Amino acid sequence: MANLKTTEKKTKSQAMGMHTEVLTGRTQQKFFNPDEAENFYYFGTYDVDFNKRTDLDVKDMTAAEANKKIDSLMSEGYGTIVIKNPQGKHSLGVGILNKLNLIFEGSLGYFGMGSCDGPIVRINGRVGWSCAENLMAGKVVIEKNAGSCFGAAIRGGDLICKGSVGARTGIDMKGGTIIIGGDAGAFTGFMMQRGRIIILGDVGINLGDSMYDGTIFVGGEIGSYGSDAVDADLTKSDQDWLKRKLKVAEIGENFDVSKMKKIVAGKKLWNYDNLEPTEKKGAI
C-alpha cells in the first residue's frame, strides 16, 4: 500500500496549501488489497468496451426507464453510449459506478449524473441544479451553463462547466476539482472541506463562506468573501497545476493563471481538533 505520508506528492501538496488533501473515490489507493479481488468492482458495475458504441433516444422515456436502459446497455458491454433528446429530464445518468464514455446530445434537468464513480461524460447542453452531486471519480464536461449547487458534495473526479454556473457551486465538496469557464453565483465553495474550485470569470458574494479547507482560484472579480475565507499566495506550483488542469479540461488553455486569486480557509472557525466532552474526560 502506498504510504502517502512519505511521498514526494505530499510535500508538493503541502506547498500548495493542500496539506490535508487525500484523493478519494476509485483512485484512492488506501484500501487496495490484491487478496480482495472482488472488491475491485462494486455490485452493479460492468466491464465495458469503449469501442462498442450505441445511441439511445430517451425522448419518450421517463428518467427511470432511461437509466435502466443505460444500465442494460452497459451490462451488454457497451462502453460508449450517446443519449439523444434528453430534453431537460431530471436525474439522468445517475449511479454509474464503472468506466463509461457517455455523451448527452442535449440538456439535463436536476440531479444529472448524481452519485457516479468513474464515467467520462460530455453534456452538449446545459444542466440544472445539483449536477454530479457526490461524484466520486471520473470526468463530467458541460458545454453550456449549469444551475445552482453544481458539484455539491463531490469526493473526487473532475467537473467542468464551460459556461456560467448558479449559486453554491461546490457546496460541501470533499475532494475533486470543479472548473468553471464563465461566472459563478453567490456562496461558491460554501462549507467546502477539500478539493479545488477554479473559476475563470467573476464570482458572486460570500465566496468560500465557512470553508473548512480546500482551495478556490478566481480569475475575475469577487463579489465578497464569506466568513473565514482569506487570500493566500499563488505559488509557482499552483500556477503549474492550474495550467495543466485547464489544458486537460479543454478550457482556458491560454488563460493567464498568474493573475488568479487564491482563496483558502482562514481556519478561525475550525474546531476539528477540539475533543468532544467525553473524549476530553478520557484524555484527562
The residue (of 80 and 206) whose beta carbon lies closer to other proteins is 206
Is-contact 48 99, C-beta < 8 A? yes
Q: What does the block give as the cell for 57?
A: 433516444
3-state secondary structure of 262: strand
Q: Least CB distance from residue 175 to other proteins, whole Å?
A: 25
The residue (of 98 and 164) whose beta carbon lies closer to other proteins is 164
The residue (of 18 and 167) whose beta carbon lies closer to other proteins is 167
Is-contact 170 152, C-beta < 8 A? yes
The residue (of 166 and 181) whose beta carbon lies closer to other proteins is 166
Considering Cα of 194, then 224, then 262, then 147, what sign does the dihedral take?
Answer: positive
The residue (of 163 and 220) whose beta carbon lies closer to other proteins is 163
Give 17's contacts (C-beta < 8 A, 6+ positions apart). Answer: 215, 232, 235, 262, 264
- Distance, in Å, from the CA atom of 211 to the CA atom of 201, rounded to the nearest integer, reads 20
- Distance, in Å, from the CA atom of 226 to the CA atom of 240, rounded to the nearest integer, reads 27
Length of the chain: 284
Question: Other CB atoms closer than 10 Å to residue 100's CB: what's the count?
Answer: 24
Q: Least CB distance from residue 85 to other proteins, whole Å?
A: 8
The residue (of 159 and 186) whose beta carbon lies closer to other proteins is 186
Q: Least CB distance from residue 99 to other proteins, whole Å?
A: 27
Interface with other proteins by CB under 8 A: which residues?
A: 87-90, 105-107, 109-110, 125-126, 128-129, 144-148, 163-168, 183, 185-187, 204-205
Q: Least CB distance from residue 250 to other proteins, whole Å?
A: 19
The residue (of 91 and 98) whose beta carbon lies closer to other proteins is 91
Q: What does the block give as the cell for 237?
A: 506550483
Q: Least CB distance from residue 91 to other proteins, whole Å?
A: 12
Q: Least CB distance from residue 244 to other proteins, whole Å?
A: 29
- The closest of 134, 155, 151, 153 to 142, measured between CA atoms, is 151
Q: Least CB distance from residue 264 to other proteins, whole Å?
A: 23
- The closest of 189, 195, 200 to 163, measured between CA atoms, is 200
Is-contact 36 64, C-beta < 8 A? no
Angle (CA) 57-118-200 rounded to 5° is 90
Q: Least CB distance from residue 245 to other proteins, whole Å?
A: 25
The residue (of 13 and 164) whose beta carbon lies closer to other proteins is 164
Angle (CA) 113-116-117 rounded to 5° is 150
